[in-house]
Copies of this chain bind each other. A is one copy, B any other.
């Protein structure tokens, strides 16, 4: 299977519509139909159930969709990491650290400072991303190492080292009834706040349907919280970035939030190994 075929299949499987998928791929619809047909024939597997009115995935198609996404990420990662390795002079390729925009700022700053004074330290670029985007960046090679928060982020498939374990808190508008309390229990949560959770863009940059406001960065989110339009559950350390009009209330009965460093397991970079060591020694 060629990556082109996988890209084509993923497009159709996601759109469930040959015409739109073809448009998204920048090709005409007939070659796309033919390519999918050839792929099915060669795999000996029906991937899509199609009538002239609808397209749906078969079981085999669902399997291929998940596997193809992983494979395409791996190919994208290969391309990006090779490009980056080639730019830098021998052995000095920089690192890209993926981090939640705005979250764990202090921790990241200390980490970078501690690493920077190491002998043989390489340049570290920080890639600020929305929630759930760091994992993806790690998988597709945009980042070499990332700050993740278990259990919210999916750590599966990465090597990890725990940095901090803390309790979660809920960030709400100052003056909100909850702020009069010492803590709120997890079981009360969506209702006790009274405002909908924010919606973040998915991997295609689109927003799912729902009641909450659409947000794409943390400053914007904090403003919306300060305006009483939404709320956020975050590690208590996030309280430091809360600022005017936003108050953190501890959440009880919830599993602790683990802030951890994650990186792809096949990585053999000495710079990365050193970075991880510095991070965990502190």
The answer to whether A78 touches B64, judged by C-beta atoms less than 8 angstroms apart, is yes
Does chain B have a CB within 8 A of A265? yes
Q: Say how many copies of this protein the assembly contains.
A: 2
Contacts of A67 in B (CB 8 A): 74, 77-78, 81-82, 141, 266
Does chain B have a CB within 8 A of A227? no
Does chain B have a CB within 8 A of A4? yes
The answer to whether B78 touches A71, judged by C-beta atoms less than 8 angstroms apart, is yes
Question: Of A85-93, A107-115, A242-250, which binds chain B?
Answer: A85-93
The answer to whether A63 touches B91, judged by C-beta atoms less than 8 angstroms apart, is no
Does chain B have a CB within 8 A of A117? no
Q: When each residue 206-218 of chain A gets 1 if its CB lies under 8 Å from chain B and 0 otherwise, what string results?
A: 0000000000000
Residue of B63, B81, B141, B268 touching A82 (CB-CB under 8 A):
B63
Query: In the complex the two chains form, what is the Cα distance from A44 to B64 in whole Å?
Result: 31
Contacts of A59 in B (CB 8 A): 85-86, 90-91, 93
Query: In the complex the two chains form, what is the Cα distance from A66 to B74 in whole Å?
Result: 11
The answer to whether A78 touches B268, judged by C-beta atoms less than 8 angstroms apart, is no
Contacts of A268 in B (CB 8 A): 66
The answer to whether B6 touches A75, judged by C-beta atoms less than 8 angstroms apart, is yes
Q: When each residue 1-14 of chain A gets 1 if its CB lies under 8 Å from chain B and 0 otherwise, what string results?
A: 11110100000000
Q: When each residue 241-277 of chain A gets 1 if its CB lies under 8 Å from chain B and 0 otherwise, what string results?
A: 0000000000000000000000011101000000000
| Closest B residue, CB atoms, query A73 | B74
The answer to whether B156 touches A265, judged by C-beta atoms less than 8 angstroms apart, is yes
Does chain B have a CB within 8 A of A118? no
The answer to whether A45 touches B82, judged by C-beta atoms less than 8 angstroms apart, is yes
Ordered by A's residue number, 7 sampled pairs between the chains whose C-beta atoms are within 8 Å are A1-B75, A44-B86, A62-B85, A64-B81, A71-B74, A71-B77, A75-B75
**Which 7 pairs, one residue from A and one from B, show the smallest C-beta to C-beta distance?**
A45-B86, A156-B265, A67-B78, A71-B74, A157-B265, A60-B86, A63-B85
